[in-house]
Amino acid sequence: MKPSLLIVFSVLLATGCAQPGPRPSSPPSVAMVAVTDEAYVNRVERLARLRGVDIYWVNPPLKLVAKAN
């Protein structure tokens, strides 16, 4: 393979890998806010109590919900 062709191929390959991923066509129409997923926390804590395990949430699980106006 010719060195110049190898260089061109390498440059094309590198620029293809550097392209950003697809973007959403429009931003979400509803404002979202992250809140603690209370249902999941309650399930985990209930099972933990049954098994005699203490849980300390450092980063509680979150879920996205529509922001109330």
The reply to whether 27 falls in a domain is no
H or E segment and range at residue 62: strand 62-66
The reply to whether 11 falls in a domain is no
The reply to whether 46 falls in a domain is yes
The reply to whether 25 falls in a domain is no
pTM score over 0.75: no
- Give the number of C-alpha atoms closer than 13 A to the C-alpha of residue 20, restricted to the C-beta side: 3
The reply to whether 55 falls in a domain is yes
The reply to whether 14 falls in a domain is no
The reply to whether 54 falls in a domain is yes
Q: How many domains does the chain have?
A: 1
pLDDT average per 10 residues of sequence, the chain (69 residues)? 78 69 69 93 97 96 88
Domain limits for position 55: 32-66
Residue 9 CA to residue 13 CA, distance in Å, equals 6
pLDDT value, residue 16: 65
